[in-house]
Amino acid sequence: MLDGKNIILGVTGSIAAYKAAYLIRLLIKKGAKVKVVITPAGKEFITPLTLSTLSNAPVISDFFSNRDGTWNSHVDLGLWADTMLIAPATASTIGKMANGIADNMLITTYLSCKAPVFIAPAMDLDMFAHPTTQQNLERLRSFGNHIIEPAEGELASHLTGKGRMEEPENIVRVLEAFFSPKEDLQKKKIVITAGPTYEKIDPVRFIGNYSSGKMGFALAKVCADRGAEVVLITGPVNQTIDHPKIKRVDVESADQMYEVTMNVFPTVDAAILCAAVADFKPAVRSDEKIKRESSNELCLRLTPNRDIAASLGAIKKSGQVLVGFALETNDEERHATDKLRRKNLDFIVLNSLREQGAGFRCDTNKISIIDKFGVVTHFDLKQKLDVASDIVDKLATLW
Ligand code: PMT
């Protein structure tokens, strides 16, 4: 899985820096190309000569070479990488990464890196447990970075606890698992609804909501990447998606979304209903623009839209899986559980507008999954693509 992968290995000032030498050997054995970036403190623990000999490449530490003034481009390095691994990562480096303190080559490279980032912390148990470190790690997780939890054991301080950098073999296993293509949804067909619906008032106005489509599109991508054939039925959004396994159908109103989804449902193995469907539409739609001058006050009479989720729940066949979403503002679990039962869902994904970084428009989400047996699983704040992976993992367990 790591054959041909370009890996930046960031080494920081920890006693565990000696393990970086083993890590490089293992990665090179797996066919990866490794370039090492080391912090000034890292050089106190392991020599650049050792690391460059093992990696077959110069070790980068300074912004430019003192010998000939050559500029070390952290941007080029960031773009070269398929992944960046910081092992060992000290509390100081973790703090700088979480707060963008770009005072060394490792942090500038991290900030320029578009590839997935893995962080293997190494520090004393109390430093690791400190709320500052935990909050910084939480922040890095919310950026989509992957934390390879330290192991428990004897530490450099001779205390025993959690803080030992994970063993190089296990770190390599984590990377291999990440890069191994998951194709567990081969032969599955999944319909996904996404985005808002627009309910026309007149030719220029509508009732809508803030859904951007990001969550639904992330789900479509993850399902397709894992081998499923996807029908993505979306309300009006600015998202683009280009994947041979995704068929996109654009709709505008809840009625249109209802018709297309009901039509496709008998042919699929699962439906994931992520769209923020308008619950009501104007009872009467004006064919002409309503003029401001026509009256002092405008009353709109609204009539309920058909509930797509509940209608699918009523015709669901055995073997078909139905996944709904619940966007709540209060009494979250109670309302979500009520929707799960009423709509005959297999599980429901709860997101709350009370959580920062969750719900509409943002690139992140924080969800809980409640299944039909009442089991509730809470997840951290993550990028919507990673949230989609968690949801699809749950779906895959039902097959
Ligand atoms: O698009 P983003 O900006 O990324 O935001 C993502 C999101 C916040 C829209 C998404 O994560 C989400 O929560 N979607 C569901 C929003 C919603 O309408 O929730 P609800 O609690 O009102 O609806 C419950 C379920 O019934 C949902 O699965 C919904 O799709 C479905 N429903 C609702 C009404 C209706 N007429 N038909 C339906 O199918």
Q: Determine the atom of ligand 1 nearest the C-alpha atom of 361.
A: 3
**What are the tens digits of pLDDT across the range 21-38?**
999 999 999 999 999 999
* Residue 201 in contact with ligand 1 by CB distance below 6 A: no
190 DSSP assignment: E
pLDDT > 70 in the chain, percent = 98
Q: Which protein residue has the closest C-alpha to ligand 1 atom 16? A: 276
Mutate to test the pocket of ligand 1, among 274, 322, 353 (most ligand atoms within 8 A of CB): 274
Same domain, 141 and 268: no
* Residue 308 in contact with ligand 1 by CB distance below 6 A: yes
Residue 182 has pLDDT above 90, yes or no: no
* Chain mean position to CA 307: 28
Binned at pLDDT 50, 70 and 90, residue 65 comes out as low
**Where a domain ends, among 144, 179, 214?**
179
Same domain, 160 and 255: no
What is the span of the domain harbouring residue 118?
A: 6-179
Binned at pLDDT 50, 70 and 90, residue 194 comes out as very high
Same domain, 198 and 313: yes
In a domain, 289, yes or no: no
Residues 277 and 254: beta-carbon distance below 8 Å: yes
In a domain, 67, yes or no: yes
In a domain, 287, yes or no: no
Beta bridge partners of 303: 281
Residue 203, amino acid:
P
**What are the tens digits of pLDDT across the range 98-134?**
999 999 999 999 999 989 999 999 999 999 999 999 9
In a domain, 293, yes or no: no
Same domain, 232 and 363: yes
* Residue 277 in contact with ligand 1 by CB distance below 6 A: yes
Q: Which protein residue has the closest C-alpha to ligand 1 atom 13? A: 327
Same domain, 115 and 158: yes
User: Using CA of residue 85, residue 91, residue 93, residue 95, what is the dihedral sign?
Assistant: positive
236 DSSP assignment: S
pTM above 0.75, yes or no: no
Beta bridge partners of 273: 193, 324
Binned at pLDDT 50, 70 and 90, residue 180 comes out as confident
Residues 269 and 320: beta-carbon distance below 8 Å: yes
Distance of CA 273 from the midpoint of ligand 1 (Å): 7
Length of the chain counted residue by residue: 399
In a domain, 292, yes or no: no
Same domain, 58 and 173: yes
Q: Hey, which residues are catalytic here? A: 209
* Residue 325 in contact with ligand 1 by CB distance below 6 A: yes
Of 58, 105, 60, 114, nearest in space to 84 by CA: 114
Output the pLDDT for position 24.
98
In a domain, 291, yes or no: no
For helices 105-112 and 91-99, the axis angle rounded to 10 degrees is 40
* Residue 7 in contact with ligand 1 by CB distance below 6 A: no
Report how far residue 230's alpha carbon sits from residue 382's, in angstroms, rounded to the nearest whole number: 23
Binned at pLDDT 50, 70 and 90, residue 69 comes out as low
Same domain, 174 and 193: no
Report how far residue 295's alpha carbon sits from residue 292's, in angstroms, rounded to the nearest whole number: 7
Residues 163 and 127: beta-carbon distance below 8 Å: yes
**Where a domain ends, among 179, 202, 220?**
179
In a domain, 121, yes or no: yes
Query: What residues contact residue 368 under an 8 Å CB cut-off, 6+ apart?
Result: 332, 333, 336, 349, 350, 376, 377, 378, 379
**Where a domain ends, among 113, 145, 179?**
179
Distance of CA 351 from the midpoint of ligand 1 (Å): 10
Residue 378 has pLDDT above 90, yes or no: yes
* Chain mean position to CA 106: 24
pLDDT > 90 in the chain, percent = 85
The number of folded domains in the chain is: 2
Report how far residue 211's alpha carbon sits from residue 360's, in angstroms, rounded to the nearest whole number: 5
In a domain, 290, yes or no: no
Residue with tokens 């980068």: 60
Same domain, 68 and 206: no
Beta bridge partners of 218: none
Report how far residue 13's alpha carbon sits from residue 29's, in angstroms, rounded to the nearest whole number: 25
Binned at pLDDT 50, 70 and 90, residue 74 comes out as confident
CATH number, residue 34: 3.40.50.1950
